[in-house]
Every structure is written in C-alpha cells, then in structure tokens.
Amino acid sequence: MTRRTDAATVVGALGEAAAAHGRVPAVVDGDRSLDHATLWRQAGRVARRLRARGVRNGDVVALAADRSAGLLVGLVGVLRSGATVLPLDVTYPRARLMMMLQDSGARIVVGHEHTVGPFAGEGREAVVLADALAGEEVPADAELPEPHPGDGCYLLYTSGSTGGPKAVLMPHAGLANLVRWQAGASGVGPGSRTLQYGAISFDVALQEIFSTLATGGTLVCVDEDTRRNPVRTWELMIDSGVERIFLPYVGLQALVMVADDVPVERSALREIIPGGEQLQCTRALRELLRRLPECRISNHYGPVETHAVTCHPLEADPGRWLSLPPIGKPIPGNRVHVLDEEGRPAAVGEIGELYVAGDQVSYGYWRRPALTAERFLPSPDGDGGRVYRTGDLARLRPDGSLDFLGRADDQVKIRGFRVELAEVEAAVSDHPEVAACGATVAGDEGIDRVLVAFVVPRSGFDAEEVRAELRGRLPGHLVPEVFHAVDALPQLPSGKLDRRGLRLLAEREPTAGPR
C-alpha cells in the first residue's frame, strides 16, 4: 500500500517513516541491511556529532562517501543536523571537488576515512562516519533542531554556458513538495524496492532516495562497477526484487541495449522514471516494455534549478507511444509558462521558451546574485513570486501538456533548416541495427555545415542502408551526412549524453564521409 506524507521537510517525512515502519528495511547494501529505525538512529548520531562540532542551521556540510549504506546514513545525518548538504561525487577529479568545497565555504566533510582524508586541511575538518557512529562523546538523546521549510536543503553544482560550475541552493520546501507528490504518484510503499542508481551529485538521486525512504520503501545500493555494467545492473535488479528505477535516458538506453542478454521477464520492475534529457521511445525500448507488461514509464522534466516539475505517464501499450513523448503537465505546486521572444504567452502549437514558477523554484545560484537576477525573474502571474527562465524550448499541446524541443542555445540549422537533434537520434535509434545514437553538427555555418551521427551498432552496421531507410521517413536536412560507428557515446558524470564531447569528436573529422 502506498504511503503518503504531508511533512513540510524531508527530515520530518523520514522521521514519520521511522516511527511507522521502523522494522522495514530502509537500505540493502550487499549482505548488509539497515531498517528505518536504525537508519534514523545512526543518522541522529552523525547529526549530533556535527552539532558538537559547531554546525548550525544553514551551514554547508559536504558529503563525500562511496555508494553504500554509509552514504545514506551520512546524507540523512547532515540534514538532521540542520545543515545544507553539499553532495560530492567521489569519482570526480579532485581539483573539481576542491573548487566546490572552496566556493561553497564548507568547513566539514562527512564520509568514510578514505574518502574524506584528501579534503581535510585548509580550514576544513573531516567527520568519519565510523567514528561518529561508534563515539560516545555526544549524548545519544541530545536534542536536534527541526529544519524549517525555508532552510537550505541541498547545494548542487551544475555546469553552464557561462564557463565554470555554479551551485544551486534548494530549500527544504521544494524537495518536500516533490517527495510529497512522488509518494502519491508512484505505486510503491513500505518495503517496495528502488535501485539507488543516481550519482549523489545528480538531483534525481535525491528524488530517488527521499521519495523511497519517506514512504517506508527500501533502497538497494549498487556499487560503481556494477552501475557501469548494464548486464550486472539487470542481474542485481532481478536478484534483489527491484521494482522502481530513476535514471537518465542514456542509462535507460544502456539497459535496453543488453536486455536480450538477461532474463528480464524475471524482473519485478514496475516503474521506470527517466529524466534529465529527452526520452526517445525506440523500437528496442518498446520491445523491452512488451516483455515487462506490468511495468510503466513516467517521463519527468526539470532542470537542477527547479528539480522535477512536469510528468508524463506513457500509455500501457508501447505501440501507441510517440517517438519523442511529451514531458507532460506540471506536478502540484508548480506552474509553467511558454513565452515568445517578446515575453508574451505563446499560442498552442507555437514554440517558445519555458519558464517555471511555484514550489520547485530554487533560491538561485550560491553567492552569484547577478546571475541569479538574470535567470530568476518576477513571475508573470503577478503574485509576487519568481519564475526560472530555463533556456529550454517547448510547445504547448492542445491537452495542456508540453513538448520538449531542446536547449535554445543548442539549436542548429542545416542549409537554413532548423534541426532537432533529438528527432534525428530517435529516428536513427529506431533502426534494428542501431543500439544508440547521438547526433551533432560539424563545420561552419552555411554550406560547409554537416549533420553527423555517432552510432553504437547492435552487430553489423551499414551506413548506406540506414541512410536509405531514413530518407523514406525524414526530410533531407534531417538525414545525417556522416555516420561514425563507436563503442559507446560520451557521457557526463550524471549519466547524461555529453553533447559537447560529441561536437568535439565530430570536429576532428567533419568531412570524413559515411562509414
């Protein structure tokens, strides 16, 4: 049975879950398991250690830990202390992590002994999870503060067109609103198992983690090596009875590519929630869902500045799916606006830029008031609130849902025609010889610009055959002039497609011709 929560913060929701479902497993990490009561108690010890070190509400505390039960204890512990958590992906280059620590002003790093050691010093100190759980210096019943809905919940760094990474500060109220909605939208509840797939520095991981724990569900940990191996990921999900997974489209694509090599019919998977980039309903994805008749896909959209703000549940019949499905309608507490270049509402069917208002809008960019003022604007609703200017293009459908049309700054033209790269990728990926595709352009504006497709083949790959098939389905300007067969598409640490990496690959041999 699904469990709903009305808590104003994720900390409150987790406390309720610990009281109601204390003996239900909260985390399964290999042979180790923590129930909700134990997770809550251990997180409390971490929180009290942090308070004893002088941490107060609103302070930024970094979390650097391997994928494990300890990571989750540390995450909940930092939030129970009243601090704003800065999740650090320990697979990132050390120089980038040091930049985040310096920019955030975090003076404490929580994690395992081997993960926090490199970051101690220079005014920062380490809190080792094992020591915090075993220590006796802090009374076990020392009172902990209840975070306020307006307090900062997390600080996440995101790259942008302006150059270096910038941090987004999300209040507790925003994440709590998302968790509250997800608790009712998903058919999961106490004991239901969700794979802890997302990288901790990716906002979807926080949706995945807290929407599971807040409903008395169980997170199944996956180590980094298994996560990077889609066959082993399938095997873990099958053996562990995983019912739900959140992941970027590229991650879903990787699972689809190997689905013929594993007995997916034995899987308990009931819900797939892709987000972070355009979902493409390829032939292979449709075939997979036909093998999983009880499983449903729910397409989410939302930049890190707002987290998830819209949802589109796909129909049960894969044969009825669009190749590029809508991103849906706003979840409760949010509003969206599609505005033209003059800032006026775009008509149904017209392309405009997407603006987001409501509970999911973050406080803006950490210590960057000018950039915040540029992207977070007064709401056109006239309610005194703010909207976030996403930089994404969208189109309103007659039923009120939205089509996602890519980034405004990623728009490309070939011989004067506007090219939607996602449309090209979806069409190429639908060919039975193609497992995955990433499209980009190479060359200068004008007659020298060419459309390039990087293809991960299933077995053999004949570029001329694929091109001939595409010419029967697409206008000429959407048919790639150059194909490159590759073993894998470049990815960002979050698991999204690395479009800049694709462009760099294409520029190396922009006129190499088909192969």
Residue 446 banded pLDDT, cuts 50, 70, 90? low
Please say which residue of 391, 408, 425 terminates a domain: 408
What tokens appear for 92 in the block? 């990132």
508: helix, strand or coil = helix
Name the residue with higher pLDDT: 319 or 120: 319
Quick one: what percent of the chain has pLDDT higher than 70? 92
Same-domain pairing of 438 and 497 = yes
459 lies in a domain? yes
Neighbours of 258 (CB within 10 A): 16
State how far the Cα of 262 lies from the Cα of 230, in Å rounded to an integer: 10
483 lies in a domain? yes
Same-domain pairing of 402 and 460 = no
Q: Answer for the pair 233, 108: CB distance below 8 angstroms, yes or no.
A: no
Same-domain pairing of 372 and 432 = no
Mean pLDDT of 126-143: 76
pLDDT at 142: 64
Q: Answer for the pair 403, 420: CB distance below 8 angstroms, yes or no.
A: no
Same-domain pairing of 390 and 469 = no
pLDDT at 136: 57
Same-domain pairing of 437 and 503 = yes
State how far the Cα of 119 lies from the Cα of 176, in Å rounded to an integer: 30
Whose CA is closest to 316, among 343, 342, 286? 286
pLDDT at 162: 43
pLDDT at 386: 92
Whose CA is closest to 223, among 232, 231, 215, 212? 232
Q: Answer for the pair 71, 63: CB distance below 8 angstroms, yes or no.
A: yes
Going from the C-alpha of 104 to that of each of 110, 125, 158, 169, the distances in angstroms are 15, 15, 13, 10
What tokens appear for 242 in the block? 């995983």
According to DSSP, residue 104 is labeled H
61 lies in a domain? no
| Residue 175 main-chain phi, psi, to 5 deg | -65, -40
Please say which residue of 352, 387, 408 terminates a domain: 408
- What CATH number is associated with residue 452? 3.30.300.30
Mean pLDDT of 70-83: 97
pLDDT at 515: 41
Mean pLDDT of 10-31: 96
**Predicted confidence (pLDDT) at residue 370 exceeds the cutoff of 80:** yes
Enclosing domain of residue 433: 411-508
Same-domain pairing of 397 and 341 = yes
276 lies in a domain? no
State how far the Cα of 259 lies from the Cα of 44, in Å rounded to an integer: 41
pLDDT at 423: 82
State how far the Cα of 453 lies from the Cα of 469, in Å rounded to an integer: 15
467-492 pLDDT, tens digit per residue, is 888 888 777 778 898 999 999 898 87
Same-domain pairing of 415 and 503 = yes
Beta-sheet pairing, 244-247 with 271-274: parallel
- What CATH number is associated with residue 349? 2.30.38.10
Q: What's the structural domain count of the chain?
A: 2
State how far the Cα of 23 lies from the Cα of 156, in Å rounded to an integer: 32
Same-domain pairing of 388 and 477 = no
The residue written with tokens 């180590």 in the block is 223
State how far the Cα of 394 lies from the Cα of 353, in Å rounded to an integer: 6
Mean pLDDT of 229-248: 96
Same-domain pairing of 380 and 467 = no
Residue 161 banded pLDDT, cuts 50, 70, 90? very low
503 lies in a domain? yes
492: helix, strand or coil = coil
364 lies in a domain? yes
Mean pLDDT of 241-262: 93
Same-domain pairing of 432 and 462 = yes
Same-domain pairing of 439 and 394 = no
133 lies in a domain? no
Same-domain pairing of 382 and 417 = no
Residue 18 banded pLDDT, cuts 50, 70, 90? very high
pLDDT at 62: 98
Sheet holding 108-111, edge to edge: 125-128, 108-111, 60-64, 84-88, 152-160, 163-171, 364-365
Q: Answer for the pair 460, 489: CB distance below 8 angstroms, yes or no.
A: no
State how far the Cα of 393 lies from the Cα of 354, in Å rounded to an integer: 6
Mean pLDDT of 339-350: 93
Please say which residue of 393, 408, 423 terminates a domain: 408
The pTM is what? 0.84
502 lies in a domain? yes
Strand partners, 441: 451
